[in-house]
Structure 1
């Protein structure tokens, strides 16, 4: 009987859907704060979007009261009772009175955040080079082929996008020394398109030209909601052979929630002017088989 069950499970490996993979997302929610948190329609759509992700980096959190994100996480836990959601937030960042936060929302029953730091807190040499310093976390995912990786959340300042993307190369070097890893993923609204990046500028960006870094969201992709724009502002960039080969092929893409939820453009823009971008990590079938048995 045990042999038969084992055989059925092995046959089932070929039929398992990509839902066993781990989905990582990045979403610029455009000035997410009290007003959007109090809009039931917007929050319902946001909840559905983020519930698709095992981990989601939220950008442009602008809530001095600190109430919007806990409300969103509470909604997620009510909406999706099959998982337990938690969050980790950065300090409020910015060189002027305009401040933003990065927030990672994740399924704590699926993965573990083992460490985190921002360049601001770590005394990095790169702190002064960013308008909003990257927020960096180290993640352990037992159910995927790549079990340990570092995520670098970044929302560049549009007018300094080329310079800030270039400086991320140095951030990678710092991370690889600090945590002794090659598996690093950069994600977020890099403003890496259209008028913010020039052809000459691309040539000077090491993160772009070093073949060890793989840009999973291509230049031709549109990550914007408005019909009159077509820009790949939001990106996912990975470093490390193990991480690159641990990604589900062609899974990196924007999620067009306007089309998915049948929204008019003005309805979608109430949520954000950006689409989230996402990528899937390949599952470890041995892990899933062990837990099935």
Structure 2
């Protein structure tokens, strides 16, 4: 058996590699008016492909693809040289005004996930007929290689001027989805506008999504999910319901992904892509779990 310091180094090195190559990555990205004009910008599309291809499932928001050309173009570039490993599922176009509508889009790797159910949430709850500007498009995924196997994602891009009301109403969506699909393994994610001037501290105790202690907010308030140097706000969030799903999260893996720094872009180049950073979290896989156990027991011998 190797000396203890050597085993410790092997253990730490193994966990780093496992996070990168084995764990299942879920992302949420406000792609800021992603439509035909952006899809024709080569540098923007290159960066988008780099961002999305890091993820096993990636929620895109602010997709404004009225001519249905931008999403196929993105998928074509994602699949170039990779076979047909990427697919997507999209909501209907959502919004109170015909002049401005968006879609929620989940892009996913077919080799690691599949869609087993979708539900376009209706904005017709009793007593409140118009809670959301863009009603959640709920998707259930099967991911056989993960520790959790199956989970539900509820996306939301709140209206900045109505953030408190929409976030609180999202709690009702969560309860409905749990009953409908008989599951506790639910993750809520997206551009919640849950910070700075859009969610005042005095209003937080009015939001059940915040006050329910059974829900875990994985992106802390001190995070900066914005590209502009002049802003520092944790608008984009990931919230986990259910002990089993929370236990399947790789510890400390939830974060904003600074693509500007990672891809060495200027602020203007990054803003051409979006004014938000993606947020992401890793789920443990069966391989991740078994390999970590082998390392801790001193039986893990090699990598690769």
Tell me, yes or no, if the aligned pair for 1:142 and 1:287 is still in contact at 8 Å: no
User: How much does 1:269 deviate?
Assistant: 0.3
Instruction: Indicate the RMSD between aligned Cα atoms, in angstroms.
Output: 2.0
Distance in structure 2 (CA, Å) of the matches to 1:46 and 1:176? 32
Contact 2:61 2:190 in 1 (8 A): yes
Residue number among 57, 60, 81 corresponding to 2:59 in the alignment:
57
Partner of 2:268: 266
Cα distance in 2 for partners of 1:205, 1:142 equals: 34
Q: Alignment partner for residue 47 of structure 1, among 46, 49, 54?
A: 49
Q: Which residue of 1 aligns with 2:296?
A: none
Listed as ranges, the gaps of 5+ residues in structure 2 are 1-10, 292-304
Query: Structure 2 CA distance, aligned partners of 1:232 and 1:59?
Result: 16
Tell me by how many angstroms 1:109 deviates: 1.4
Q: Secondary structure at the match of 2:158?
A: coil
| CA positional deviation for 1:184 | 0.6
Give the 3 Å change call, closer, same or farther, for CA 34–127 of structure 1 in structure 2: farther
- Structure 1 segments, 4+ long, off by >2 Å, are 13-16, 123-128, 285-289
SS across alignment from 1:203? helix
Matches within 5 A, 1:53-202: 53-78=55-80, 81=82, 84-97=85-98, 98-120=100-122, 128-202=130-204
Deviates more, 1:276-285 or 1:126-135: 126-135
SS in structure 1 opposite 2:189?
strand
Q: Distance in 2 between matches of 1:129 and 1:161?
A: 10
Query: Is the contact between residue 23 and residue 288 of structure 2 (CA under 8 Å) also seen in structure 1?
Result: no
Match of residue 18 from structure 2 = 17
CA contact (8 A) 2:18 2:288 kept: no
Partner deviation per Cα, 1:191-244 (whole Å, 9 max, x = no partner): 000000111210111110111100000110000000000000000000000000
Determine the C-alpha separation between the residues in 2 that align with 1:228 and 1:239: 33
* Aligned-residue offset at 1:113: 0.7
- How far apart, in 1, do the equivalents of 2:247 and 2:279 lie? 19
Map Cα deviations across residues 8-29 of structure 1 (whole Å, 9 max, x no partner).
Answer: xxx9x96652121100000000
| Contact 2:22–2:288 under 8 Å retained in 1 | no
CA distance in 1, matches of 2:288, 2:44: 39
Q: What secondary structure is seen at the aligned counterpart in 2 of 1:73?
A: helix
Hey, what does 2:28 align to over in structure 1? 26
Q: How many pairs does the alignment contain?
A: 276
Alpha-carbon distance in 2 for matches of 1:146, 1:283? 8
Deviations 1:77-131 (A, max 9, x none): 115x17700000000000112100010000011111100011139x765762100
CA offsets, 1:31-84, max 9 Å, x none?
A: 0001100000100010001000000000000121011011101100115x1770
